[in-house]
Amino acid sequence: MKISADYDRCEGHGLCAEQAPAIFELDDDAELVHHFDGSDIPPEQLAAARAAVTACPVAALRELP
């Protein structure tokens, strides 16, 4: 599974980073950093990744097959 991030839509709330800190973080400028952008999420991180997608208040994250 992959997660697509819409960087233009992201408002830097950081809820994704709280749910999945191994996958997402905000940099010093509150810009989203997606550590697996374009890559498959490791199996052990799938639940956290799905929680992050659900937690995003502006729907900037989307699960891809």
Q: Which tens digits make up the pLDDT trace of 38-47?
A: 999 999 999 9
The pLDDT of residue 8: 96
| Tens digit of each residue's pLDDT (9 = 90 or more) over 10-39 | 999 999 999 999 999 999 999 999 999 999
User: What is the domain partition of the chain in residue ranges?
Assistant: 2-59
Token output for 9: 């839509």
The CATH architecture that domain 2-59 belongs to is: 2-Layer Sandwich (3.30)
CB 4 within 8 A of CB 33: no
| Residue 45 to residues 9, 29, 34, Cα–Cα distance (Å) | 23, 25, 13
